[in-house]
Structure 1
C-alpha cells in the first residue's frame, strides 16, 4: 500500500528537517507508518528534536549539518521546534500501514 506525508500549509525548512529525520528514525521500529509520524510529532512537542551548534539532535541520535545550513536553520526558528507551527501541518495520506 502506498502512502505519503504531506503538509496542510506552509512549513519551515527547520521543522521539516527535524520532523522527517525523526520520522525516518522511528519508521525503523514502529509497527505502522502513522505511528512513526505520531512518535516524531511527540518528540518535537516534548522538545527532544532541536538544532544545537552544527547538529540536529533527536531521540535516536543526531545528524551533522554543514555550518552554513545550521546557521540558516537556526536563524529561521522562532522559539523552538516544539511549537505546533513546526510539526502540526504534517499528515499521512493513503495507507497508514
Structure 2
C-alpha cells in the first residue's frame, strides 16, 4: 500500500483497519478488501470526499 498524497490520520486508520478486517474475516483478495473498505468510507458523510479514501494504491502482488 502506498500513497503520494497527504492523508488524514483518523480516516486512514479506519480505512486500514477495515481493509485488514475484511481481508481476514472474508478471505478477500487485497484489492477487493481495499475496494470494499474505500466504498464503506466513501459512504459516510464525514469521509465521503476522495481526500479520505482515494490516495491509496496497492503495489506488487494484489492477491
> Could you say whether these structures have the same fold, taking a TM-score greater than 0.5 normalized by the shorter chain as the test?
yes
Structure 2 segments unaligned to the other structure (5+ residues)? none
Matches within 5 A, 1:7-86: 7-28=3-24, 29-47=26-44, 80-86=46-52
Is the radius of gyration larger for structure 1 or structure 2? 1
Q: CA RMSD in A?
A: 1.4
Query: Matches of 1:41 and 1:90 in 2, distance apart?
Result: 9
Query: Matches of 2:17 and 2:61 in 1, distance apart?
Result: 20
* Partner in structure 2 of residue 96 of structure 1: 62
SS at match of 1:6: coil
Structure 1 segments unaligned to the other structure (5+ residues)? 48-78
Alpha carbons of structure 1 residues 10 and 39: separation in structure 2 relative to 1, 3 Å: same
* Partner in structure 2 of residue 58 of structure 1: none
Answer whether contact 2:15 2:53 (CA < 8 A) is retained. Answer: yes
Note the alpha carbon deviations across 1:4-57, whole angstroms, 9 max, x for none: x1112111101211111111111111431110000000001111xxxxxxxxxx
Flag the structure with higher strand content.
1
The reply on whether 1:6 has 2:2 as its aligned counterpart is yes
Flag the structure with higher helix content.
2
